[in-house]
Amino acid sequence: MHSKMVKLDNGLPVMYKKYPIDSFSMVFVVNYGSLYESKKENGIAHFLEHLLTKQTKNIPSEKLKNRLFDNAIFWNAMTGYEQIQFLFKAHKSKFDTIASTLSDILINPNIDEKAVRLERGPVITEMRGGDDKSPDAVASSKITRAVLGEHPATFTVADSMRALRNYINVSKVKDTYSKYFTPDNSVLSVTGGIELEKMLPVVNDLFGSWSGKFSGKTLSPAEYLPPSRRTFRLRGVDESMVVLGKGLPPASKQNYDDVNCLTIANSLLVKSLMLELREKTGITYTPSSDNSHMTSFGINETSVSAFSPKYLNLIENTILTEIDKLYKGEISHEAVEKVKENTVLSGLVSLGEESFEIAEELGMAYAVLKDPTYPEALPHLFESITMDDMRRVCSNHLNPDDFSVVVLKPYKKC
């Protein structure tokens, strides 16, 4: 069954897809995340995510926690660059309870001085514990800064903690909520065994009276810095890492063929790097290469980690050589077809088996692309890619001269 989209009178899009199972998945997406924040605001999105799921005006903290744990198989909330998500999975008999709880979380938040004061400490503690200092995380942060410069995507956990301590207050939190938590800036996605005829009246009754119009800012496309090469030394590590990155058109400026061709190109790059490095060093490495596309920016990032410093030049040059082959159109038709086949098959398996993932994908497809058909169309879109498409996209986006390079080396005392 194909997905459906219904828009409530207040502007809230509701995505729906039926599966012959006894559970349902519900994902609510708000178009607001850390990229919307200045350095002194950084952390409000994450803070709101915590505050809203702590208690509501109608449901005290302990009762809300018990209601969620007693009725949901799984529930979570998460904050990203551009969205806040609330995710639930439960038996279909619990649909009304989960839907009413979610609507109360979103429509009747308890945002006052006491609630903000009590939640500030736990959120800062969680941030401190989640501050990833691993070489992979450091390298990804450094290459993002090399590509974007001073940008909200490069704000650190320390920046967020500083803002929460010194600048974020109840007035700022309320203002952010009123501007961004509106039906016309959100998406509700429901998949699984619940019937549309049962789901829609419940959703309309619970969410239809939610008022408010989006009055926040929209994200402008990022400006990318010229390519550069920088070396950093890390304490407590014995091995090196190299990561290359360049800016890509944001999702709002990118077409599906380009995104999918870059996905295939990065798969080819990973395989060729693995084979080349094993032949040259006798060691099997696990390279990483990926293209990501936000509403306001995109990045292509390729890395090889955990190698002896003596191999640094060899590995960096090998990455640039393999990218250059893609850029020049030296691409095997057979290899492209194999990647396409594997991608299509994995997509079809996902579409047929995991309603929770599809609920999230449908919600995010509408939130980012305003196109709820994208997840289901993806297998066909990959199948239709031609070698001319691949060569055009690689020529446009994978010039090795456009990549910034970040190198991490072990720290050595002088």
Instruction: Give the C-alpha separation, 159 to 168, whole Å.
Output: 12
Instruction: Read off the pLDDT of residues 37-87 as tens digits, 9 standing for 90 and up.
Output: 999 999 999 999 999 999 999 999 999 999 999 999 899 999 999 999 999
CATH architecture label of 229-410: 2-Layer Sandwich (3.30)
Instruction: Read off the pLDDT of residues 322-372 as tens digits, 9 standing for 90 and up.
Output: 999 999 999 999 999 999 888 776 655 454 445 667 788 888 888 877 877
The H or E element spanning position 192 is strand 186-192
pLDDT at 351: 47
pLDDT at 26: 95
Query: pLDDT band for position 414 (50/70/90)?
Result: very low
Query: pLDDT band for position 295 (50/70/90)?
Result: confident
Assign a CATH topology to domain 4-207: Cytochrome Bc1 Complex; Chain A, domain 1 (3.30.830)
Instruction: Read off the pLDDT of residues 75-122 as tens digits, 9 standing for 90 and up.
Output: 999 999 999 999 999 999 999 999 999 999 999 999 999 999 999 999
Residue with tokens 């926690």: 65
What does pTM read for this prediction? 0.91
Instruction: Give the C-alpha separation, 61 to 57, whole Å.
Output: 10
Average pLDDT estimate for 144-164: 94
Pairing of strands 229-234, 404-410: parallel
Choose among 4, 400, 13: nearest CA to 203: 13
CATH 3.30.830.10 domain position(s) in the chain: 4-207, 229-410
> Among 94-98, 254-258, 283-287, where is mean pLDDT lowest?
254-258
pLDDT at 381: 86
Q: Which residue has the higher pLDDT, 132 or 85?
A: 85
Instruction: Give the C-alpha separation, 188 to 204, whole Å.
Output: 11
Mean pLDDT of the chain: 91
